A and B are shown apart, each in its own frame.
Chain A
Amino acid sequence: MNILIIEDEQALQESIAQYLGKQGYICEVAVNFREGIQKINDAEYECIIADIGLPYGSGLDIVKELKQIRSDAGIIIISAKDSLEDKLNGLGLGADDYLTKPFHLSELSARVNALLRRKHFGGNTSIIFQDIQVIPASKSVLVHQKPVELTAKEYQLLVYFIANQNRVITKSALASHLWGDEYDMAGSYDFIYSHIKNLRRKLMDAGAPDYIKTVYGTGYRFE
């Protein structure tokens, strides 16, 4: 799967490419608007990640260009501006998702994952991880072909873990994924712990090995 990252901040661009690279994506980078426009015209990408504030142009214009050349690439806009107009603008122009800086790499990875699945299989495919099968269309989970009853949050957790398999995921990344911006109001991480405990128990009861590893003082790893 090819991903183009259009971001002028070198360090940020590298981090994204490195993280997504490890998740099995082939990443190309562009450091400004012109280079971005050139690359989307030269090659086909499954997914474009574009910053709004770029030298020589706006990420929103990249979205326009992509629509003009009838590209069916998924588009994720990233912006430091947490402004509703920018967000609505981006989505209105045809972007698929919008992330505000700073974001967790695991969150970006999960969004790319969900976007590609939606784009390419119309969401009609299932996600397989070892003996676990997740069917996004019905939001159901099978372990060894037997259904496992998960709550909405447990389901979200599992999909997030699979999208970020073998990576250390911090508790704060999990919290903001599950509760979004409302999380800031919600208090401690205890309730994440209880959701993970329940998910782990349900998967193991269904006969799966313990995939969720606790990384001491940091977070979790799904492997």
Chain B
Amino acid sequence: MARVTGSNNMKLLTKNTIWFLLIMLPLLAAGGIYLYHQFDKELKKEMDEELVNDQIQWLIYFNSIPDSSPVFRITTPEFSIHPAQGPADAQPFLKTIMQYQEVEHKEVPYRQLEQVIRIRERFYTLTIRKSLIEKDDLIKNIALVMALAFIGLLLFTILVNRLISRSIWRPFYQSLDKMEKLQLEQMHHLSFPDTSVTEFNRLNEVLLNATTRIYHDFVIMKELTEDAAHEMQTPLAIAQNRLELLLQDEALQPAQLRSIAQTHEALQRLSHLNHSLLFMAKIGNKQFVPAGNISIKAVLQKHLRLFEELIRDKDLLVSTDFSGDLSLLLHPILADTLISNLLGNAIKYNYPKGTITIQLTDQLFSICNTSEYPPIPATQLFQRFKKNASNLENSNGLGLAIVKKITDTNHLKIYYIHKEKEHHFIIRPDRHHH
């Protein structure tokens, strides 16, 4: 049930924020640039007007001086007047130039007005300059304040957007959480609170209908499973018991007796098979709900006692290393089956005078047995009816499939290793489940 987080997969809120940023950032940037240019233009216009005003003042001044005055020749960084060739310009020329400034020790921008003017039959070039450095500083300051305001606005909007989204989507996440934690057996207890959003109410209704239908099917399936057991076991019982009675007939020849015994045996296998398949279906339906933790050590010791004769019969050497006890949340029947199947296999597929090594710690249970049987191919390991020792009677090929089913449905992991003629199974809790 791990949540997949890929490149095409992000949280709703994140996606929302990213889209918002993608749209808002260029918009704000374009707005900023436009405003900057407008400011710049306005200030230049202002500056030019000042220069023209200054020029007019100068002209009034020059024209007011008495006629006897000498030729004007003044040069300062901000003002200069020199005699020049005519004719006079009708309009002043305005442009931006770079000029060395003593105070700053560098080239700084100036706005310059230049015009050839006529003062009493003489022509002069009049140049008035104003430093742009203060104006640049001003624009920079304005831009900075503007940028800060924009960023603040953006952050605030994102925050508000997230808060609103979170509150609007809350019922959705609540439903999602409920569905995620939902277990088959508790499906009929499912209910969703009413929300103020029509779509969410619709979603909850659809979810409720779907789960009700699933639960209904599950109950039918469960009943069918048990009914099937009942319906099949009864005819099997009749057939088996009739054959057992028939065996008592003293008039029967040995060959006939043998046929009856074999038929009886086959029926017995059929009923075991039926039993195992139904058992697997029940595990799959999660009909074995654990009531508490089970000590695997106790289960192991019980089964070592149960299988004592079989172990002695094959002259197997069983070595146990119980350095801890694995405590598993498992239904007692499943715990019994798990250990019984694994230990049973370790005995069954062993050779006389072979060994079984069992290790138990707080983290894992491991069982290892010698065997002449070849390693089990990984693809067939836990498959139903894949017999790896088809010559063995009374093996229905379901033992490991049942073990796998138990581990899969109870948050356990099983590993199989084959090394130097030894089959090794390890079971440990799956720590990555939800």
User: Is the CB of B236 closer than 8 A to any CB of chain A?
Assistant: yes
User: Is the CB of A191 closer than 8 A to any CB of chain B?
Assistant: yes
Residues of chain B within 8 A of A22, CB atoms compared: 248
Residues of chain B within 8 A of A12, CB atoms compared: 234, 237-238, 241
Expressed in whole angstroms, the minimum distance between the Cβ of B225 and any Cβ of chain A is 11
Residues of chain A within 8 A of B236, CB atoms compared: 101-102
Expressed in whole angstroms, the minimum distance between the Cβ of B275 and any Cβ of chain A is 7
Q: How far is the CA of A63 from the CA of B141 in the complex (A)?
A: 97
Residues of chain B within 8 A of A194, CB atoms compared: 313
Q: Choose from A170, A186, A217 the contact partner of B254 (Cβ within 8 Å).
A: A217
Residues of chain A within 8 A of B276, CB atoms compared: 184
Are B307 and A182 touching (Cβ within 8 A)? yes
Q: How far is the CA of A215 from the CA of B361 in the complex (A)?
A: 49
Q: Which residue on chain B has the smallest CB distance to residue A180?
A: B306
Interface size on B, residues (CB 8 A): 51
Expressed in whole angstroms, the minimum distance between the Cβ of A74 and any Cβ of chain B is 21
Residues of chain B within 8 A of A53, CB atoms compared: 230
Are A105 and B309 touching (Cβ within 8 A)? no
Q: Choose from A15, A168, A215 the contact partner of B241 (Cβ within 8 Å).
A: A15
Binding site secondary structure of chain B: helix
Number of A-B contacts (CB under 8 A): 134
Are A184 and B348 touching (Cβ within 8 A)? no
Expressed in whole angstroms, the minimum distance between the Cβ of B249 and any Cβ of chain A is 9
Q: How far is the CA of A37 from the CA of B151 in the complex (A)?
A: 89
Are B258 and A218 touching (Cβ within 8 A)? yes
Are A168 and B392 touching (Cβ within 8 A)? no
User: Is the CB of A185 closer than 8 A to any CB of chain B?
Assistant: yes
User: Is the CB of A219 closer than 8 A to any CB of chain B?
Assistant: yes
- Indicate whether A188 sits within 8 Å of B392 (C-beta atoms), given known contacts A102-B237, A104-B240, A182-B307: yes
- Indicate whether A219 sits within 8 Å of B344 (C-beta atoms), given known contacts A19-B244, A102-B233, A190-B313: no
Query: Which of A84, A186, A189, A215 neighbours the largest number of chain B CB atoms within 10 Å of its CB?
Result: A186
User: Is the CB of B17 closer than 8 A to any CB of chain A?
Assistant: no
Q: How far is the CA of A84 from the CA of B307 in the complex (A)?
A: 23
Residues of chain B within 8 A of A101, CB atoms compared: 233-234, 236-237
Expressed in whole angstroms, the minimum distance between the Cβ of A72 and any Cβ of chain B is 28
Interface digits, B316-352 against A, CB 8 Å rule (1 contact, 0 not)? 0000000000000000010000001101110110000
- Indicate whether A219 sits within 8 Å of B261 (C-beta atoms), given known contacts A82-B275, A184-B272: yes
User: Is the CB of B268 closer than 8 A to any CB of chain A?
Assistant: yes
Q: How far is the CA of A118 from the CA of B396 in the complex (A)?
A: 37
User: Is the CB of A56 closer than 8 A to any CB of chain B?
Assistant: no
User: Is the CB of B242 closer than 8 A to any CB of chain A?
Assistant: yes
Expressed in whole angstroms, the minimum distance between the Cβ of A189 and any Cβ of chain B is 8
Expressed in whole angstroms, the minimum distance between the Cβ of B287 and any Cβ of chain A is 9
Q: How far is the CA of A160 from the CA of B277 in the complex (A)?
A: 30
Q: How far is the CA of A11 from the CA of B248 in the complex (A)?
A: 17
User: Is the CB of B426 closer than 8 A to any CB of chain A?
Assistant: no
User: Is the CB of B283 closer than 8 A to any CB of chain A?
Assistant: no
Q: How far is the CA of A20 from the CA of B241 in the complex (A)?
A: 12
Residues of chain A within 8 A of B310, CB atoms compared: 186-187, 191
User: Is the CB of A103 closer than 8 A to any CB of chain B?
Assistant: yes
> In chain A, residues 165-213, which have Cβ atoms closer than 8 Å to a Cβ of chain B?
167-168, 170, 172-173, 179, 182-191, 194-195
Interface digits, A36-48 against B, CB 8 Å rule (1 contact, 0 not)? 0000000000000
Q: Choose from A82, A184, A217 the contact partner of B257 (Cβ within 8 Å).
A: A217
Expressed in whole angstroms, the minimum distance between the Cβ of B223 and any Cβ of chain A is 12
Are B245 and A82 touching (Cβ within 8 A)? no
Residues of chain B within 8 A of A16, CB atoms compared: 241
User: Is the CB of A145 closer than 8 A to any CB of chain B?
Assistant: no
Q: How far is the CA of A190 from the CA of B312 in the complex (A)?
A: 13
Residues of chain B within 8 A of A15, CB atoms compared: 238, 241-242, 244-245
Residues of chain A within 8 A of B267, CB atoms compared: 102
- Indicate whether A185 sits within 8 Å of B345 (C-beta atoms), given known contacts A22-B248, A81-B226, A170-B264: yes
User: Is the CB of B399 closer than 8 A to any CB of chain A?
Assistant: yes
User: Is the CB of A153 closer than 8 A to any CB of chain B?
Assistant: yes
User: Is the CB of A32 closer than 8 A to any CB of chain B?
Assistant: no
User: Is the CB of A113 closer than 8 A to any CB of chain B?
Assistant: no
Are A104 and B230 touching (Cβ within 8 A)? no
A184-B276, A185-B347, A186-B347 given. 10 additional CB < 8 A pairs? A15-B238, A15-B244, A80-B229, A80-B230, A80-B237, A82-B278, A170-B265, A182-B307, A187-B310, A194-B313
> What are 24 inter-chain pairs, A to B, with CB distance below 8 A?
A12-B237, A12-B238, A12-B241, A15-B241, A15-B245, A18-B245, A80-B233, A82-B278, A84-B333, A102-B233, A102-B240, A102-B268, A168-B247, A170-B244, A183-B394, A185-B340, A185-B347, A186-B310, A186-B344, A187-B393, A187-B395, A191-B309, A218-B257, A218-B261
Residues on A facing B (Cβ under 8 Å): 9, 11-12, 15-16, 18-19, 22, 53, 80-84, 100-106, 151, 153, 167-168, 170, 172-173, 179, 182-191, 194-195, 215-219
Q: Which 3 A-B pairs have the closest CB atoms?
A: A185-B344, A102-B237, A217-B258
